[in-house]
Chain A
Amino acid sequence: MELLVASAIGVLTAGGIYLMLRLRTFPVILGISLLTYAVNVFLFTSGRLTVGAPPILRDGVSTYTDPLPQALVLTAIVISFGMTAVVVMIGLGAFLGTDDDHVDDQTDTSTLDEEAEGTS
């Protein structure tokens, strides 16, 4: 089971990094979201994997999973929603303002184009 969780983290990270390196805003945002999942799960697993022992205190039960990573990850999930929303808004604003959803600056190519037009 450890292998499954660890490899899931790996797959999410790889997918996240690949999409983050794309050239348009939307895939980049999705990539960052994937990375967020990977990081959250990674932090969560720092409490190790325990099945069927939620940190809800019960009489007569003495084994609980580690609650602290859960608390930290819970707020991380909510915060990452806020951050995703901000990034989406920035990307959207940039697209609406310039009709261009590239994440990289396009100035260099546009000046090259102008120069090309000038010479031709």
Chain B
Amino acid sequence: MSLFFIVLLPFLGALLPGLMNSAGRAACAGVTFTVSLAAFVGLLTNLPTVLAGEVVTARIDWMPLLGLNFTLMLDSLGFFFALLILGIGLLIIAYARNYLSRNDNMGEFFTYLLLFQGAMVGIVLSDNILLLLIFWELTSLSSFLLIGYWKHLPAGRQGARMALAVTGMGGLAMVGGMLILGQIVGSYDLSTILQNRELIQADPLYVPALLLILLGCFAKSAQFPFHFWLPHAMAAPTPVSAYLHSATMVKAGIFLMARMWPVLAGTPEWFVIVTSAGLITMVLGAVIALFKHDLKALLAFSTVSHLGLITMLLGTGTAFGSMAAVFHILNHATFKAALFMSAGIIDHEAHTRDIRRLGGLRTLMPVTFVIATLAALSMAGIPLLNGFLSKEMMLEEAYGTALFGVPWLVPALATFGALFSAAYSFRLIGHVFFGPVRDDYPAKPHDPPAGLWLPPALLMIPVVVIGIAPFIAEPFVKLVTSAVLGDAASLPSAHFKIWHGLVPALYMSLVAVAGGLLLLAVFNPALRLWDATPRPEAKQIFDSLIKACVSLAQGIILPLHNGAFSRYAAIGAVAILAAGFHAYMSGTVGATTRTVQPASPVTIAGWLMLVAATGGMVFMHRNRLLSLILIGIVGLMVSIGFVFFSAPDLAMTQFTVEVVTIILMLLALNFLPNTTPVESTVLRRVRDAGVAIAGGLATFGLAYHYLLRDAITTPISEFHLANSYKGGGGTNVVNVILVDFRGFDTFGEITVLGIAALLIYALTETLLGGPVRARLLNRKPDQPRAGIKHPMMMVVLTRVIMPMVLLVGFYIFLRGHNEPGGGFIAGLIVSIAVVMQYMASGFSWASARLRYPYHGVIGAGVLIAGLTGIGSWFFGKPFLTSDFTYVRIPPFEKFELATAALFDLGVFLAVVGAVMLSLESFSRLARRAHVPDSEHPMDIDPSREGPPPEKAGFAKEGV
């Protein structure tokens, strides 16, 4: 199966559990299992190729200019991890099906799980480090969702947040490190990077890149000093813990260290940082784990400890160390997943995971006892189980490693860590399963149904088989190790054996096991000593750190962002002015090239009106109705200016828009106070006036400057003028630009317009659905209403001119391609015609005659425009390529048929729909209770018999 499918299957499959939720829990788990199984089988189909030592690749260029390509690669290392991720994933899904209670939303859980699975598989199969980073962040996000799955638990939410904060910060560092690495090599392809060891290690940026990448890996894999997040993530449901902390999430950091091993390892920096971090984590985790009473916390810290062990092995930089690391990854995944699941079983059956409240479960839960004991003994490093083998290799590697020039440091600490590891494993067995049977368990423990114990039991097969016959695992582990080593080192010749003879590692192992037993014997005094020792609490440190960051951010942001819009606007205006001033001072301005055109008295009169109206608005803006009238004058003058300066299309648009804007503002003013009170101080007004005058002078200066100069190069408009008729078939160049040359722009614009109208509609719906509705309905108008609401004269007049206005609109639309006009203007004109009906005959009357909802009109418009564009695909042309032809149908004259007209029809419909939907939404707010809407257009109608019905509350609401 193609690698793309293996990566994509979990992501696509993530859609299914949610859909299957209503079909029942079995269906939900079943579909998840099937998806995972398909990916697993798909992976296995690549096994022969991988076993042959070849690398499977798949590639799609995504953003080649950025170096970001969707390239996947499957070598034995990737295969190994993918096998763990998908294989253990299958067991986890089966386990979770039985573990989750009826109250848990199973679809949600499995959706998150599949997302996480896909992201993990993506990490291990990526051949592009940028792609890897994307999957890396996806694991952080999806693990956040999984850890916080039990949203009702504060511990779950806090643990999820902490995990996200730590791994997210690590991810950020990783991004930096990877970008540096890519810059050094000049490629973001992993396979290329892995072949440039000398180049990378000789680069001065090697150390920063190494530090950043290690920071990311350590944060993800819970290495000291980031080890604290992992135990808090244990608040998650046990299947999540078992999955994230045995085989997947925390192994991602390890994977990356192994992946980058050929190019990053082998330097003193790598050795010192990685080995010491691993060593500290291993010892610290093991010691803390021993004294944890919560089973899952014990396992969490033991995971931390084992991850430290693997990190340390990778840090040594030798081929043997890498082989031991790979082997231990395999072994740890098997026994730790089983242990987590066993802990979940105990929690599930006994309703507690507190070791102090357990004991004697050996006879009550024999199956669980066998599984957990085997796994724990493997973890302790007891012969004939797989944990023993890799631990021996670890001790052997530690024996030959000298850190900081001290030969005994690493062996001693490794033995010490192994000792505690053995001790907590023994404690787990001894304190949970042995001892007397108690009678105070929170629930009567017994073995669970097979659905719960079978998955961990299956994991015991590799634990025992590898433990007894290590040579079975040897070829595969060596194959994976060779992928880790790359060209950097040759494969070690050592064989996997249970008995190596009387080597130092054996003595160290004996010391560890004996010491572990001894420590368990003196556990109680040791616990008292441990409890008496003061220790820094990681969670408190983290919390106070986060708190400090939050208050720092607040200290910076709140004074700036205090909710005062007028202040932002002022700061924005001044900043723009300053930037413009800087540009002016640092640039050069050529000499004037255009002659000033003389101004006629009419022009001066128009200018005077515009300036007077603007001045009036500024000085009398407190009278809102007056300022509305004044802005109408401004708009009118602007329209006339457009006519004067050869822009008839603009003038028509501006004029019609002006009409609908004023209607809209009037509708709004209906609800708002009629005057603006005096609130600002004189000083403030002077300040605002200063900013305003500076802004006005700046725009004046800018406009005046370029009005007197020609453009530096020939404007592209020459092309439009030359090709408008030839290529677009229209003589109105503005319209041809709109529907043809720049049709894509227009398409976007009508879409935006439609969205704006829908937004207004949605806001109205929200308002009318909330407490505002009652207030609106009971609102008392602040001014006396007119005696007659729908004057007969107006009703009759609007009805009579309606067909004429529609005709004008139709005419304007049709001639648009060749004469001033077009879809935009026609749409506005028709809107005005419809609005007039609303105004004259009333909302109910007009709505009742509405054949198509305005949303539909908007949609139809955008759709028609879009389909017109798509139509050109069928002729092998790019989107929105237009075509036209001339036809002649007697007795008419020759006329033109253009696809652009169809597009313009879309524009027309979208504009009508958007304008009408906005205005209709506003007017819906205006309806009141106690004032019945008449379905009759006129209060007095000679053709109607009898008085109008006095039905109160007829108002049709929520239409």
Contact = CB atoms under 8 A, between A and B. Distances in A.
Asked if chains A and B come from one complex, the reply is: yes
Interface of A: 1-30, 33-34, 37-38, 40-42, 44-58, 64-68, 70-71, 73-75, 77-86, 88-93, 95-97, 101, 103-105, 107-108
Interface stretch (B68-76, B346-354, B696-704): B696-704
B611 A11 contact: yes
Interface stretch (B172-180, B517-525, B561-569): B561-569
Interface stretch (B459-467, B768-776, B882-890): B768-776
Interface string B679-699: 110000000110111011111
Contacts of A101: 672-673
19 contacts: A8-B641, A12-B614, A15-B692, A15-B696, A18-B689, A25-B672, A47-B717, A52-B646, A54-B647, A68-B720, A70-B647, A73-B647, A77-B657, A79-B756, A82-B756, A89-B922, A96-B925, A104-B564, A107-B563
B241 to A, nearest CB: 43
A96 B593 CA distance: 55
B651 to A, nearest CB: 10
B738 interface: yes
Contact of B820 (A54, A57, A78): A54
B650 A70 contact: yes
Given A88-B664, A105-B562, A105-B564, A48 B710 contact: yes
Interface in B565-592: 565-567, 569-570, 573
B661 interface: yes
B653 interface: yes
B54 to A, nearest CB: 57
B900 interface: no
Nearest to B642: A44
Contact of B594 (A48, A91, A95): A48
Contacts of A51: 597, 644-646
Interface in B386-434: none
A33 B631 contact: yes
A77 B645 contact: no
Interface in B751-807: 752-753, 756-757, 759-760, 763-764, 766-767, 770-772, 775-776
Contact of A86 (B570, B573, B660, B759): B759
A104 B603 contact: no
B566 A71 contact: no
Given A8-B610, A71-B737, A89-B760, A30 B621 contact: yes
Contacts of A42: 699, 702-703
Interface string B715-731: 11100110011000001
B824 interface: yes
A33 B614 CA distance: 11
A63 B752 CA distance: 35
A36 to B, nearest CB: 10
A67 B733 contact: yes
B856 interface: no
Contact of A10 (B598, B699, B710, B775): B699
Contact of A1 (B596, B614, B628, B915): B596
Interface in B312-366: none
Contacts of A17: 573, 688, 691-692, 695-696
Interface size class of B (residues with CB under 8 A): 35 or more
B634 A53 contact: no
Contact of A66 (B598, B634, B669, B717): B717
Contacts of B898: none
Given A77-B653, A97-B770, 20 more contacts: A2-B594, A2-B708, A5-B703, A7-B611, A7-B700, A10-B699, A11-B700, A17-B695, A30-B628, A44-B642, A44-B650, A56-B731, A66-B715, A68-B720, A77-B654, A79-B752, A89-B668, A90-B763, A92-B672, A104-B567
Contacts of B661: 33, 81, 84
Interface string B428-457: 000000000000000000000000000000
Contacts of A41: 638, 641
Nearest to A101: B672
Nearest to A10: B700
A4 B753 CA distance: 33
Interface string B917-945: 01001100100000000000000000000
A65 to B, nearest CB: 4
Majority-rule SS of B interface residues = helix
A3 B770 CA distance: 52
Given A67-B737, A85-B756, A96 B767 contact: yes
Contacts of B121: none
A81 B915 contact: yes
Contacts of A71: 734, 737-738, 742
Contact of A82 (B696, B752, B764): B752
Contacts of B819: 56
Contacts of B731: 56-58
Nearest to A27: B621
Given A5-B641, A17-B696, A85 B757 contact: yes
Interface string B140-181: 000000000000000000000000000000000000000000
B911 interface: yes
A85 B918 contact: yes
A30 B706 contact: no
A16 B699 CA distance: 12
B92 interface: no
Contacts of A53: 646
A82 to B, nearest CB: 4
A65 B597 CA distance: 15
Nearest to A68: B717
Nearest to B687: A21
A9 B703 contact: yes
B706 A46 contact: yes
Nearest to A7: B700
A2 B617 CA distance: 24
B624 interface: yes
Contact of A89 (B680, B696, B733, B764): B764
Contact of A26 (B676, B710, B914): B676
B646 A95 contact: no
A37 B635 contact: yes
A47 to B, nearest CB: 7
Given A2-B707, A71-B738, A30 B721 contact: no
B671 interface: yes
Given A27-B621, A67-B737, A105-B562, A75 B749 contact: yes
B824 A78 contact: yes
A6 B607 CA distance: 11
Contacts of B708: 2
B732 interface: yes
Given A11-B611, A44-B647, A92-B672, A49 B692 contact: no
Q: Which of A9, A15, A33, A101 has the most CB of B within 10 A?
A: A15
Residue of A20, A25, A53, A55 with most partner-chain B CB within 10 A: A55
Contacts of A28: 565-566
A5 B599 CA distance: 10
B691 A21 contact: yes
Contacts of B597: 1-2, 49, 51
Contacts of A33: 631, 661
B627 interface: yes
A67 B680 contact: no
B599 A81 contact: no
A60 to B, nearest CB: 13
